[in-house]
Copies of this chain bind each other. A is one copy, B any other.
């Protein structure tokens, strides 16, 4: 048991810690093709659902009305660093929508990007919701609410039409009943959605296979995934896996991280969807696991594997900047017999 489905943490000659992973690889017809661990346990998708959550921004007409560029739409799917390029763009979208950043209800955390944090401190400014990694998603929600003439100040609550449209889009895309989706509260205050892991993978397989949808939704998902792949720097930022992975993928892959060790990938070329959950929720194990899945399935070329090696086999450094260990993905995907 201890040696299966793990990402191991090596320090010196010893494995110091162990992360169990669950993995589901699903095609656009919903077949589970490969798995590791438990592929159908219910997991909160967290921010990995942001690409699907962006569907109503396009389908309501808000994206066209407010002239969303690829970068704008990409930012709506982001868990961003809070770099200037992200916060400037949030403000630019909000201006077009006719709202201030005070309308953002995502709460505050120290921005991931230390330079941003330092600048705020040096200028005697408070950390505001603008710097929250979810401020792009919330901006998309606000744009939809404003365009639809719905209440602005309650957009984050589960029964608001904005959240109900998102719930419906997730249910449709992942083909999972709305009333069986587990609802929790996310780090930024909006609902999070609990679905079986293979349903998350299926949702991404369908996003990667627009023909699996009817005509309107087909264009919508193409627009969203194209936007993410055209402006991957908006989805994460400098030194972030989502960004570097999509840049290396060069229009073939889109991927999105979720808190508590979730990662989802869609592969345009094969139409496969991949979902990874680290059982203990630690994000450090999720990129090595996702990379290992891509490599085992033969989806990456040698250049891409080389470019992304620091995410696949991360070295661990100490405060003296010495390499003291590494993360080692240690699992073998099992082929799942088709029914």
How many chain A residues touch B (CB < 8 A): the figure is 51
- Is A324 on the interface with B (CB-CB < 8 A)? yes
* Interchain CB contact (< 8 A) of A17 among B9, B280, B319: B280
* Interchain CB contact (< 8 A) of A107 among B14, B185, B192, B320: B320
Contact A13 B184 (CB under 8 A): yes
- Is A69 on the interface with B (CB-CB < 8 A)? no
**Could you give, for residues 98-111 of chain A, a 1 whenever the CB lies within 8 Å of some chain B CB and a 0 otherwise?**
00000001111110
**Could you give, for residues 150-193 of chain A, a 1 whenever the CB lies within 8 Å of some chain B CB and a 0 otherwise?**
00000000000000000000000000000000111111110010
Within 8 A of B (CB), among A106-122: 106-110, 114, 118, 121-122
**Could you give, for residues 286-318 of chain A, a 1 whenever the CB lies within 8 Å of some chain B CB and a 0 otherwise?**
000000000000000000000000000000001
Question: A185-B318, A318-B187 are contacts. A16–B43 as well, Cβ < 8 Å?
Answer: yes
* Interchain CB contact (< 8 A) of A188 among B183, B188, B318: B318
Contact A321 B107 (CB under 8 A): yes
Question: A260-B9, A281-B9, A282-B280 are contacts. A109–B319 as well, Cβ < 8 Å?
Answer: yes
Residues of A with Cβ closer than 8 Å to B? 1, 9, 11-14, 16-20, 42-44, 105-110, 114, 118, 121-122, 129, 132, 134, 182-189, 192, 194, 260-261, 278-282, 318-322, 324-325
